[in-house]
Structure 1
């Protein structure tokens, strides 16, 4: 991944918003196995501030940062992320993407195609696939098998009464809602355990609430209820599997910075070995396909 044996991979960061400042930048700055090469953002003053806080340098030109890196991490709105990920891949840079990769299938397909054509590594940061203990739990349930039903509720209160979350100012989340923001989290658990989605039904509830019923390649079915507008008193994130071994509940998790560090490790390993990660750009494309189908099946009233 680096220019010469023994050198640390150089990773740059594209993005300066709350997610970049709270998760990506701290993880890259603390990671002993990589060099945090720099920050680029659409607002140069924000890039300078984040770079100074992280002990790295700011770049005003995205191509200059690409020239100084072996890989880039992206913390941008999905439809800003997608063309920049294509640009990075075509420049021969490995890409650590945020979810969702894009909110349209053509854009996500272009990302996956560019990654494949360039022969670079890719990882999509679906937090539950990299956080402990959820990552370990997902692997264990996939190995166990025997599941016939999955039930997920992700009732976020980002837009609930009294919310002071810094992510509430995100225009893309306001527009696309819980289906696209927390839907990838739920799917990133269900697909590796129950198999790909082979059939889908979706209906809308109040606000951005979506109810999904999924059929999976294993023969199992699952349901997912997703929103960012729940009252704080009703907020929850839970996922339960039912099968021949009884019930299994997704454990709690925290520490997004540590989870992102694990995603960095996964990208470095994939780049070094040439073995695609299970949660790569192609998987990110599949998530976009499923979410787009759900959105089209249950259009806003």
Structure 2
């Protein structure tokens, strides 16, 4: 296969700071252009990386072999289904959608054309955490797990550019950081067979999960913690004692690894473990948790 032409759909901070630089620097991909709902932002990203800014999303899809999407989930989903139906591979942000119907439509389009798909759950592609997850999944023997991901986007004094995101304001940590935690727990402990959910302060949510392996887990998720309390961790407990997940970083490097995974899946035709089917399952679990909270 020649180099994959990958177009970028979206122009927010994540697209500008992570996806565009990773696509532009990837040795086996061609950054084929950018489209966004704000033409001036698309033009700025395009100029920074020497690519074309498109004023029509279908024109960008036509000029690409794959699309990377950095949009709110329920804007992302119909565009992803449209691109997949046109035979374009997908590199999606998490969550795929915040409705089961929306996520399922993406899966249906992907399965209908047989394109490759990746959902960028950072921990599944970061250099230190990806091999750790695979190792713990292979080891088995887990009794329980404890996870937390507390951001401070909405804390007093926050200057995070992501704090201006309307969908994050509406859906909170459950939908923003919940996919990251589930992307670790599901491959290690198995699918979720039952769950309960409880509200904490502000947008904080506590989940208790039972897994098909017989193990259980808890997860605390939120975006409103004081800056001093922000952080994320996953700890597994089982036959090998307590095993904490290593720290991670380098978002651009992690996204580059996700591009590698998309290229491999497109070349071989083999589905990746973190594809739209996992994205659908994560949406189903989070939607059930949201219903329990109501």
TM-score bin, normalised by smaller chain? over 0.9
> 1:278 and 2:273 equivalent?
yes
- Residue from 12, 16, 36 that aligns with 2:11: 16
Give the aligned partner of residue 103 of structure 1. 98
- Count residues in correspondence: 294
SS in 2 for 1:167: helix
| Structure 1 unmatched ranges of 5 or more | none
Structure 2 distance, partners of 1:54, 1:291, is 36
Give the aligned partner of residue 132 of structure 2. 137
> 1:291 and 2:257 equivalent?
no
Give the aligned partner of residue 202 of structure 1. 197
Structure 2 distance, partners of 1:237, 1:206, is 17
Structure 2 distance, partners of 1:36, 1:226, is 34
| Structure 2 unmatched ranges of 5 or more | none
Runs of 4+ in structure 1 over 3 Å off? none
Give the aligned partner of residue 250 of structure 2. 255
Give the aligned partner of residue 220 of structure 1. 215
Following TM superposition, by how much is the alpha carbon of 1:206 offset from its aligned partner in structure 2, in angstroms?
A: 1.9
Following TM superposition, by how much is the alpha carbon of 1:236 offset from its aligned partner in structure 2, in angstroms?
A: 1.7
Following TM superposition, by how much is the alpha carbon of 1:267 offset from its aligned partner in structure 2, in angstroms?
A: 0.7
Question: What are the residue-to-residue correspondences of 1:66-215 with 2, within 5 Å?
Answer: 66-215=61-210
- Residue from 23, 34, 38 that aligns with 2:33: 38
SS in 2 for 1:59: coil
TM-score by length of 1: 0.97
Structure 2 distance, partners of 1:55, 1:283, is 34
Following TM superposition, by how much is the alpha carbon of 1:207 offset from its aligned partner in structure 2, in angstroms?
A: 1.1
SS in 2 for 1:58: coil
TM-score by length of 2: 0.99
What is the root-mean-square deviation in Å for CA atoms of aligned residues? 0.7
